[in-house]
Amino acid sequence: MLKRSLMLSSVVAIVSGCASSHGMQATSSRAESLPQRTEILAVADWNKIEDVRIELRDQGFLPKKLKLKAMQPYRLTIVNNGANTHYFNAPEFLRGIAARKVEVKGQAEIKAEYFSQFEVMRRGGEMELYFIPVTKGSYHVHCHLEGHAAEGVEGTIIIE
Ligand SMILES: [Cu+2]
C-alpha cells in the first residue's frame, strides 16, 4: 500500500489556473478555443497514435529538440533519469495542443482542459501525455529549478 501511494506521488500534474486571468488574455491569440480542441479530440483517429519520448537528465533534455506534426495524435512519454527532480515547464506549448489526458501507468489518469507544467520525480518518475498538436510554432520547454535551465535542462518543441 505504501509503495503504491509513493509511486502515485512520483508525478504531479499542475493544472493551469483561471482562463479569464490577464495572463491568458496575453497568449490567447496563440491558443485554439476550447470548443475547437474538444472537436479535434473527438474526431481524431487514436489508432494512428505515434510514440515520442523526452528524457529528463541532470545534463539536459534528450532529445534537445523535438519536431511534431500538427493534427497527428501523440503519446509523449516524459521520464526522469536524473538524480534531481525536474520540471517540464511549457505553458505556451501546452496551450498549443489539444490534451486528451495525462497517464501515470497503472496508477492514474488526469484529465484537464489545459496543463501548464509537470513535475517528474528523480530517477524513475514517468508520465505519458496523450495529445494532438494544434498551433504551429517553436516552443521553449525548461526546468525552472535553480540553475537547471542554465545547466542545459531545457529544450525546444516544434509543431509544424
Ligand atoms: Cu531541473
Q: Domain with 96 in it: what CATH number? A: 2.60.40.420
Judged against a pLDDT cut of 60, whether residue 123 lies above it is answered with yes
Whether the CB-CB separation of 139 and 126 falls below 8 Å is answered with no
Distance 31 CA to ligand 1 centre (A): 26
In the structure grid, which three cell numbers stand for residue 18, read together? 483561471
23-30 long-range Cβ contacts below 8 angstroms, 24+ apart: 27/91, 27/92, 27/95, 30/92, 30/95, 30/96, 30/135, 30/137
Count: domains in the chain:
1
Distance 43 CA to ligand 1 centre (A): 36
In the structure grid, which three cell numbers stand for residue 143, read together? 526546468
Residue 32 backbone dihedrals phi, psi, to 5 degrees: -75, 150
**3 state DSSP class of 39:** helix
pLDDT score at 45:
95
Mean predicted lDDT score pLDDT of the chain: 86
Domain span including residue 99: 2-159
Distance 153 CA to ligand 1 centre (A): 6
pLDDT score at 49:
98
Distance 126 CA to ligand 1 centre (A): 15
Distance 46 CA to ligand 1 centre (A): 32
| pTM summary value | 0.81
Residue % of the chain over a pLDDT of 70: 80
Measured CA to CA in angstroms, residue 59 lies from 10, 70, 146 at distances of 20, 29, 14
When pLDDT is cut at 50, 70 and 90, the band that residue 109 belongs to is very high
